[in-house]
């Protein structure tokens, strides 16, 4: 009987592929399997959500920086006197942009330095929004302009020189509250003036529409001597 049992077992083993005895893999414990799945999902969520942190807006949007200027922040400008202005800028592109780089000396009777966050060390997105607002509520009293075209990762240095005259009052006689030097991007249309000279009509790009960061600095109008 024992011999028959052994033979039957040998025959059963030989009938299996490779003649190997049957082995069964023990299934993973449900708690262990669930823990592994949760860990994988957590890691995937961290990776997809940017576990290293989202890049700052200064690294995602096209950015204008002032590298040099013969004017300093809060510098007093004498009204009615022609001022020679030099500005060294750098544009770091994050997308394809074609238009004009514009640097303006701008005067406003409704916006003062405390009303806006404009300065070389000011928060960049807030400053860009404030410059958008300033451009609609101020007068250009000096301008430098250069046609530009750029694409992602291009870094372009541009130097501009122009003259400006700061007024003491606006056209209605209201005192000037704020004087600013601002650099921004714009669309330009070439037009012919009545005297036959060519000029460029500037339409500023809104910062949020074109995802770019303009820059500027506060200046001041010096008291007029008596």
Report DSSP letters for 81-143, one per residue. Answer: SEEEEEEEEEEE-SS-EEEEEEEEEEEESS--GGGS--STTS-HHHHHHHHHHHHHSSEEEEE
* More confident position, 162 or 11: 162
Name the DSSP class of 20. P
Confidence band for 198, pLDDT divided at 50, 70 and 90:
confident
Give domain status of residue 32, yes or no: no
143 in a structural domain = yes
Share of the chain above pLDDT 90, in %: 68
The predicted-structure confidence for 37-73, as pLDDT tens digits, reads as follows 554 445 444 444 444 578 899 899 999 999 999 999 9
Q: Which stretch of 102-106, 117-121, 146-150, 220-224 has the lowest confidence by average pLDDT?
A: 220-224
Range of the domain at 120: 57-221
Is 169 inside any structural domain?
A: yes
* Best CA proximity match to 136, nearest among 214, 183, 204, 187: 204
Q: What confidence category does residue 11 fall into, taking pLDDT thresholds of 50, 70 and 90?
A: very low
CATH number (domain holding residue 179): 2.60.40
Per the domain annotation, does 170 fall within a domain? yes
Q: Which two tokens stand for residue 187?
A: 């669309």
- Predicted pLDDT of residue 24: 54
Give mean pLDDT, residues 81-94.
97
> Could you tell me if residue 155 is inside a domain?
yes
Q: Which of 22-36, 152-166, 179-193, 211-225 has the lowest mean pLDDT?
A: 22-36
> Per the structure, how many domains does the chain have?
1
Is 124 a member of any domain?
A: yes
Whether 1 maps to a domain, the answer reads no
Q: Is residue 81 part of a domain?
A: yes
Question: In sequence order, what are the residues at sequence separation of 6 or more whose Cβ sits closer than 8 angstroms to the Cβ of residue 97?
Answer: 62, 148, 149, 150, 185, 210, 212
Q: How far apart are the first and last CA of the chain?
A: 132
């Amino acid at each position: 009987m024992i011999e028959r049992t052994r033979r039957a077992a040998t025959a059963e083993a030989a009938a299996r592929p490779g003649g190997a005895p049957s082995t069964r893999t023990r299934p993973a414990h449900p708690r262990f399997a669930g823990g592994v799945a949760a860990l994988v999902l957590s890691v995937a969520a961290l990776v997809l959500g940017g576990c290293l942190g989202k890049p700052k807006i200064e690294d995602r949007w096209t950015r204008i920086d002032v590298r040099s200027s013969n004017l300093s922040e809060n510098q007093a400008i004498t009204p009615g006197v022609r001022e020679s202005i030099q500005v060294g800028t750098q544009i770091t592109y994050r997308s394809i942009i074609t238009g004009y780089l514009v640097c303006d000396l701008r005067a406003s009777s409704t916006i003062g330095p405390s009303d806006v966050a404009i300065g070389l060390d000011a928060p960049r997105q807030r400053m860009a929004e404030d410059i958008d607002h300033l451009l609609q509520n101020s007068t250009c009293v000096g301008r430098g302009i250069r046609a530009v075209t750029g694409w992602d990762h291009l870094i372009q240095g541009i130097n501009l020189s122009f003259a400006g005259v700061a007024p003491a009052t606006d056209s209605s006689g209201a005192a000037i509250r704020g004087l600013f030097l601002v650099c921004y991007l714009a669309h330009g249309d070439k037009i012919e003036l009545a005297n036959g000279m060519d000029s460029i009509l500037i339409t500023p790009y809104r910062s949020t529409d074109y995802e770019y960061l303009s820059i500027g600095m506060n200046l001041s109008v010096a008291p007029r001597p008596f």
